[in-house]
Chains A and B, each alone.
Chain A
């Protein structure tokens, strides 16, 4: 696997993104956020409660929109190329199927991360900040969300190899939004079954993707303390582990798939 191959693959995704004018989606979203900024500036923010609400809303919406963009782009990458037959010339080159998966997904993750950074900045700028809100906490929250977007993109890529693109996108988004609470609920219930079965079942459940562990924007809004180094590292490793798992699954599925 070479970095040059990965970079070239990512560049093709970026060019596709521009060619298909999908960047207009980002432009429109940015425009809507700018309108929101102007409105907030004109109306003014009088109370800390309103400021907290706007900050929370802006950051949450940025993350959600970036995730939707990541999922939609990732869901159509490989299926479309397979359907159009444009993947065969690529496979004729000395590029492994696993490299194609990785290169394309990294590009999608980069686009999503840029979108998140742009929209979050626009959401953050006009709202008055309280002294408790520390930039390091915001930086941590955004960085972890970007890692989540990368894992989400890889998950979507894998799902899109097994099911229609829109279905894959829906499953990925559902996992993002409802996976954490669903796992928590089942985890709590299974613990009442018995000590050993509960522990085994809970361990099994913990091996399901829980994207809620990456979302710490509310910690920033509430003026909380930064995550410790150990906790941050654990979450980064969690993201890396899931990225690796989804990558392995996607590579295996793509390897076995006939074109």
Chain B
């Protein structure tokens, strides 16, 4: 017969063993769960994760604190109007459905837009919305006329709503604007605390860092924007979308360079090269993933952001006066994206590189 102390030792030993095994086992299970929910902070992951039935039923209650805050920022941005977040601006622009008039908002040049022949103009066209505002600039954004006729909002139209009179009642009492009317953007300062909280709740939320940096830059705090992006870069070294943080950093730095701070060009060049390296590492061999790809999707937005980085490198090098390096960079970019019209135009304009010159390091 075992002594009572032996029983106690056995139980305690079992307890200790169990507790020791738990952390590594949880790490494996959690990673599998994250893959199930595709929790990578990307647009697609956000939408896929929130397609869970209870998330849809409970509306703005999302599966994560950061997601809840993201919805909040959309509400603040659109003055309480519950449109579907306009996160896929690139796709809307390519499809030609929404034709937003730029007001210093989050629009960016489309993939096919060609830069001016002048370097400053080319850079300005690509930097676009990330150009820092002067400190005193407010954000009284003009009313944006946008044709949202064909955009599906989270407010169901009567024709597509299975809820019948309940849906009609909801549309009557909620403070929503009809999607046919132009929407209005609010000043962005209220978003900044939410963006900060988002990154605290989920440091892997790359989009939050980018959005926050954009807003900080827009309200005249570019150095804070850079610091915020550096924080995001430090915390997301393994994130497949890390290169997008470098892209945002490049845009802020180039915006400052265009305002006359020429010492920002070298850091911009370093950032663009780091971004290209990370982007090439994350990019699948066959480029854009097919629709419905379950794992690690590489979307057209990702492809476009990588394209921006590849275009920035030769432009920055040219502005620094390193024309030969710029030519090589343009040609190296065309190796990655042979059909990119902007890189092709840059390469033609810069001429052929000297065969003996060193290729840019990738």
CB distance from A19 to the nearest CB of B (A): 33
Q: Is the CB of B53 within 8 A of A53?
A: yes
Instruction: Give the distance in Å from the alpha carbon of A52 to the alpha carbon of B30 in the complex.
Output: 23
CB distance from B239 to the nearest CB of A (A): 13
* Chain B residue nearest in CB terms to A47: B160
* Chain B residue nearest in CB terms to A235: B29
Q: Is the CB of A57 within 8 A of B33?
A: no
Q: Is the CB of B18 within 8 A of A245?
A: yes
Q: Is the CB of A218 within 8 A of B36?
A: yes
Q: Is the CB of B21 within 8 A of A212?
A: no
Q: Known contacts A213-B29, A252-B11: does B51 contact A241 (CB below 8 Å)?
A: no
Which residues of A sit under 8 angstroms from B169, Cβ to Cβ? none
Give the segment of A105-113, A165-173, A223-231 that binds chain B: A223-231
Which residues of A sit under 8 angstroms from B36, Cβ to Cβ? 215-216, 218-219, 222, 224
Most buried by B among A180, A222, A251: A222
Q: Is the CB of B28 within 8 A of A235?
A: yes
Tell which of B11, B32, B35 touches A248, judged by Cβ atoms closer than 8 Å: B11
CB distance from A61 to the nearest CB of B (A): 8
Interface check A15, CB cutoff 8 A: no
Q: Is the CB of A242 within 8 A of B294?
A: no
Chain B contributes a number of interface residues (CB within 8 A of A) equal to 39
Instruction: Give the distance in Å from the alpha carbon of A206 to the alpha carbon of B64 in the complex.
Output: 18
* Chain A residue nearest in CB terms to B203: A188
CB distance from B351 to the nearest CB of A (A): 48
B 282-305 to A, binary, CB cutoff 8 A, 1 in contact else 0: 000000000010110000000000
CB distance from B57 to the nearest CB of A (A): 7
Most buried by B among A58, A244, A251: A244
Within 8 A of A (CB), among B2-39: 11, 14-15, 18-19, 21-23, 25-33, 35-38
Instruction: Give the distance in Å from the alpha carbon of A148 to the alpha carbon of B324 in the complex.
Output: 62
CB distance from B143 to the nearest CB of A (A): 32
Instruction: Give the distance in Å from the alpha carbon of A227 to the alpha carbon of B294 in the complex.
Output: 13
Q: Known contacts A60-B54, A245-B19, A248-B14: does B25 contact A234 (CB below 8 Å)?
A: yes
Interface check B168, CB cutoff 8 A: no
Interface residue SS majority, chain A? helix
CB distance from B88 to the nearest CB of A (A): 17
Which residues of B sit under 8 angstroms from A56, Cβ to Cβ? 51-53
Which residues of B sit under 8 angstroms from A33, Cβ to Cβ? none
Interface check A158, CB cutoff 8 A: no
Q: Is the CB of B21 within 8 A of A241?
A: yes
Which residues of A sit under 8 angstroms from B32, Cβ to Cβ? 213, 216, 227, 231, 235
Interface check A164, CB cutoff 8 A: no
Q: Is the CB of B14 within 8 A of A244?
A: yes
Which residues of A sit under 8 angstroms from B211, Cβ to Cβ? none
Instruction: Give the distance in Å from the alpha carbon of A132 to the alpha carbon of B243 in the complex.
Output: 31
Instruction: Give the distance in Å from the alpha carbon of A60 to the alpha carbon of B37 in the complex.
Output: 14
Q: Is the CB of B18 within 8 A of A234?
A: no
Tell which of B25, B56, B201 touches A188, judged by Cβ atoms closer than 8 Å: B201
Chain B residues packing against A (C-beta within 8 Å): 11, 14-15, 18-19, 21-23, 25-33, 35-38, 48, 51-54, 56-57, 63-65, 162, 200-203, 292, 294-295
Chain A residues packing against B (C-beta within 8 Å): 43, 52-54, 56-58, 60-61, 132, 180-181, 184-185, 188-189, 191-192, 203, 206-207, 210, 212-216, 218-219, 222-225, 227, 230-231, 234-235, 237-238, 241-242, 244-245, 248-249, 251-252
- Could you name 17 residue pairs across A and B whose Cβ atoms are closer than 8 Å? A52-B51, A53-B51, A54-B53, A56-B52, A60-B54, A61-B53, A188-B203, A213-B32, A216-B33, A222-B36, A223-B292, A224-B35, A225-B295, A235-B25, A237-B25, A238-B25, A248-B18
